[in-house]
Amino acid sequence: MYKYLFSGISLFFCHSFSSAQSKLILAKLTRTEKGITISNPINIGNNKGYDNQPSFCDEANNILFSSNADSVQMDIYKYNTTTKKLSAITKNKENEFSPLLTSNKENITCVKGKNQRLVIYDLNGKNEDTLFVHPDSIGYYNWIDNDRIAALVLTQPQSLQIINVKNKETTTVAKNIGRTILPYKDGFMFLKKADEQKNYNGIIFVEKNMRQSPMLPMLKENENFYCVNDTLFTVEHDTLKYTYIYEERRWTTICDLRSLGLKNVSRLVANERGNMIAFVAKEFVSPKIETETPSKNNMPKPTPSKALQQKTPKTKK
């Protein structure tokens, strides 16, 4: 058990891509009684510049992401994992980042422009409308219901705020947070960053009533994790790891992603079915043959009868 109260100075955040290069890599994720295998990695953006902020957007397993494929500005692109077709959703004069499907799956939203406002589009990228302009600018975000997002706001230090895009109200939930925010059950998860007292980051679960419960520690320099089917995944120093929310919750190594050609991995997402996983990496060299890297540990599936609160430390107001 560990305490989840942190404080301290956060790193300055910005969506910077002018000198950055990143590759968006899609791979097959297979779970069996023997373990997990990661195989068939491919560069789906195939862009010499910047591909980042991916999200799986619907049952068809399309992937939305931000890219400067035309070498001008960041636009929203979609990759169809069935047809393997890449298409531009938007082509605008202002940069667009962090595209996500809304909770009702009827629209696409993103962070746009120098003021990093939240805007909304139809699924085809048409009919733009501004949902919310924050005086301190929105960094990363995620939808937690049809009217609200949980967002990293660029205050000093960075703060986690609940923003109601309908009535325009904001509520600060935490400070000194990392960039990962994920919906989970009736609430959401976020990452609390380390400070002088706690030399590690921590994943926090926020319930519907906004009560916070610590879930799991992470390395100080790691801000990336993803949850699918009650399994948490993270990448630390290019090593892919997992843990079960319903189980003991300690990180277990799956594989070294460098064996699949990926280096300097900075982000990961998976689809709802749990059979595809995407990584953002600075470097990627495609393997000559299909590579499957199984975990060294057996992975029995989570027991549905176990409740989250049975393994969660006591809630702290």
At 59, which CATH number?
A: 2.120.10.30
pLDDT at 276 over 50: yes
- What is the model's pLDDT at position 85? 94
Range of the structural domain that residue 150 is part of: 23-311
Confidence of residue 6 (pLDDT cuts 50, 70, 90): very low
pLDDT at 32 over 60: yes
* pTM to 2 decimal places: 0.84
What are the φ/ψ torsions at residue 260 (nearest 5 degrees)?
Answer: -100, 5
Q: Is residue 316 part of a domain?
A: no
Q: Is residue 2 part of a domain?
A: no
Q: What is the chain's Cα-based Rg? A: 19
CB-CB contact of 275 with 30 (8 Å): yes
Confidence of residue 123 (pLDDT cuts 50, 70, 90): very high
What are the φ/ψ torsions at residue 236 (nearest 5 degrees)?
Answer: -125, 115
Overall domain count for the chain: 1
- What is the model's pLDDT at position 289? 53
d(CA 188, CA 210): 9
Confidence of residue 229 (pLDDT cuts 50, 70, 90): confident
pLDDT at 307 over 90: no
| pLDDT digits 0-9 by tens, 70-93 | 778 999 999 999 999 999 999 999
CB-CB contact of 205 with 191 (8 Å): no
d(CA 171, CA 152): 12
The whole-chain average pLDDT of the chain stands at 85
- What is the model's pLDDT at position 302? 45
3-7, 141-145, 194-198 — which is least confidently predicted? 3-7
- What is the model's pLDDT at position 219? 85
Confidence of residue 49 (pLDDT cuts 50, 70, 90): confident
- What is the model's pLDDT at position 199? 78
Q: Is residue 209 part of a domain?
A: yes
pLDDT at 50 over 80: yes
